[in-house]
Amino acid sequence: MKVKAVSSPGKITTIEKPDPIAGPDEIIVRWKASSLNYHDYLVATGAIPVPEGRIPMSDGAGEIIAIGEAVKEWKIGDKVMSLFFPNWTEGKPSLAKTSAIMGETVDGCLAEQACLKATAVTAIPAGYTFAQAATLPCAAVTAWRGLMVEGQFQAGQKVLIEGTGGMSIFALQLAKAAGARIFATTSSSAKAERLKAMGAEAVVNYKEEERWGKSIFKLAGGGVDHVLDVGGGSTMRNSIEAAAIGGHIASIGILGGGRKGEITFPKLFFKHLRMTGLAVGSRVMQQNLVDAINVNKLQPIIDKSFSFEEIDEAFQYQASGQHFGKIVLAF
Ligand SMILES: NC(=O)c1ccc[n+]([C@@H]2O[C@H](COP(=O)([O-])OP(=O)(O)OC[C@H]3O[C@@H](n4cnc5c(N)ncnc54)[C@H](OP(=O)(O)O)[C@@H]3O)[C@@H](O)[C@H]2O)c1
């Protein structure tokens, strides 16, 4: 089979590997699509080092083409999607459950086929194409966990989403479907219009307004109940400003060079804020997301699709920051 592998930091090349064979508890999946996340970009550019030969991309959707003799949950032909953490099936995270990361510490989905434990996939939502399903495992599960699991979202609450990348747009769609009032930031006036068309009540340009958190606090009439922070050190001060008393901040990303940063601690505790650091989620969380999509019929926003061979072009497009929502690879 043909796979794409990291041959040196920042370089992905095509190699041939033998077709995998399923052990008793395993399945063989023929991948049909993948999608790009910022995490994949960090692997592809060498910012997250991986061993030579590692197959990148955490997200994949495809069809089961073989099953081991002990597998009861699946049959040949079932449509499935990957898990970011293939060993985290349920319960709280632990080192054992989260040390395997698709496309980083174990092989990912930029391959024609993969051999996985039968529990390392979930069903895709009803009626979804493979490209649509491939958008979910990292970005949408993270948005789901930040809002619904850790945030304990209630209808009518106010939610701030930051920027218009894959995770944030899923957060907007999931929050809207659950009855949220949405506030948003972006660096682009054209994207601001799209955010409003999707239901954002107010949008602030984070490049034009340095203290955008204060503006969101005012626009939301006393702050928002939930913030999905994507910038860490580059956004957290503003995220704290934007939050309402008693609000929840999910610390999700480090865009804008935000690996480290300063926050004003009294604002955190005098606002009685809860902050959760989170990395994607478990298989059960992904199954709950699929259940929700089967009811709310959420349609992922796919900005652009590239082929398996166009992986470099796809990452260049992601780096340009033009996208709104997800970038996919259709095999
Ligand atoms: N912890 C987790 O489990 C988890 C899971 C998924 C993603 N993440 C993280 O979440 C972040 C977003 O991931 P993604 O895959 O959705 O990325 P993406 O699709 O590449 O999103 C990029 C978008 O983010 C916005 N952005 C860039 N710098 C920003 C800043 N300083 N402030 C606000 N927005 C900014 C831009 O939106 P505009 O063009 O609108 O300005 C840009 O288009 C990344 O840091 C990623 O690592 C974490």
User: Closest ligand 1 atom to the C-alpha of 279?
Assistant: 3
**Residue 92 domain flag:** yes
Q: Is the CB of 23 under 6 A from ligand 1?
A: no
Task: Name the domain count of the chain.
Answer: 2
Q: Is the CB of 282 under 6 A from ligand 1?
A: no
Structural domain that includes position 127? 2-138+281-330
The gap from C-alpha 196 to its chain's centroid, in whole angstroms, comes to 22
Q: Write the residue with the smallest CA distance to atom 6 of ligand 1.
A: 139
Mean pLDDT of 249-261: 96
pLDDT cut 90: percent of the chain above it:
98
**Residue 145 domain flag:** no
Mean pLDDT of 267-276: 97
Give me ligand 1 centre to Cα 255, in Å: 6
Confidence of residue 298 (pLDDT cuts 50, 70, 90): very high
Check whether residue 32 and residue 89 sit in a common domain.
yes
Confidence of residue 185 (pLDDT cuts 50, 70, 90): very high
**Residue 119 domain flag:** yes
pLDDT cut 70: percent of the chain above it:
100
Check whether residue 222 and residue 155 sit in a common domain.
yes
Q: Write the residue with the smallest CA distance to atom 2 of ligand 1.
A: 279
Q: Is the CB of 162 under 6 A from ligand 1?
A: yes
**What is residue 19's predicted lDDT score, i.e. its pLDDT?**
94
SS3 state of residue 85: coil
Check whether residue 114 and residue 211 sit in a common domain.
no
What's the token pair of residue 215?
């503006």
Region of 103 on the Ramachandran plot (φ > 0 left; ψ -120 to 50 alpha; else beta): left
Q: Ligand 1, from 145, 255, 275, 276: best to mutate by most atoms within 8 Å of Cβ?
A: 255
Check whether residue 127 and residue 21 sit in a common domain.
yes
Check whether residue 155 and residue 262 sit in a common domain.
yes
- CA distances to 169, 171, 210, 223 from 195, rounded to whole Å, are 9, 12, 20, 19
Check whether residue 266 and residue 322 sit in a common domain.
no
CA dihedral over 114, 116, 121, 123, signed as positive or negative = positive
Tell me if the pTM is above 0.85: yes
**Residue 237 domain flag:** yes
**What is residue 10's predicted lDDT score, i.e. its pLDDT?**
85
> Do residues 239 and 162 lie in contact, with contact meaning Cβ atoms separated by under 8 Å?
yes
**Residue 231 domain flag:** yes
Mean pLDDT of 138-160: 98
Q: Is the CB of 303 under 6 A from ligand 1?
A: no
Q: Single out the residue in 238, 257, 277 at which a domain terminates.
A: 277
17-61 pLDDT, tens digit per residue, is: 999 999 999 999 999 999 999 999 999 999 999 999 999 999 999
Q: Is the CB of 281 under 6 A from ligand 1?
A: no
Q: Is the CB of 163 under 6 A from ligand 1?
A: yes
**Residue 306 domain flag:** yes
**What is residue 261's predicted lDDT score, i.e. its pLDDT?**
95
**What is residue 277's predicted lDDT score, i.e. its pLDDT?**
98
Check whether residue 14 and residue 131 sit in a common domain.
yes
CATH of the domain at 182: 3.40.50.720
Check whether residue 252 and residue 293 sit in a common domain.
no
Check whether residue 271 and residue 315 sit in a common domain.
no
Check whether residue 57 and residue 183 sit in a common domain.
no
64-100 pLDDT, tens digit per residue, is: 999 999 999 999 999 999 999 999 999 999 999 999 9
**Residue 146 domain flag:** no
Check whether residue 224 and residue 236 sit in a common domain.
yes
Q: Is the CB of 279 under 6 A from ligand 1?
A: yes
195-253 pLDDT, tens digit per residue, is: 999 999 999 999 999 999 999 999 999 999 999 999 999 999 999 999 999 999 999 99
Q: Distance between CA atoms of 82 and 303, rounded to whole angstroms?
A: 21
Give me ligand 1 centre to Cα 59, in Å: 16
Mean pLDDT of 320-327: 97
What's the token pair of residue 274?
């809860």
**Residue 144 domain flag:** no
Give the β-pairing of 200-205 and 181-186: parallel
CATH of the domain at 79: 3.90.180.10
Mean pLDDT of 134-158: 98
Q: Distance between CA atoms of 9 and 15, rounded to whole angstroms?
A: 16
Check whether residue 10 and residue 133 sit in a common domain.
yes
Place of tokens 């592809």: 44
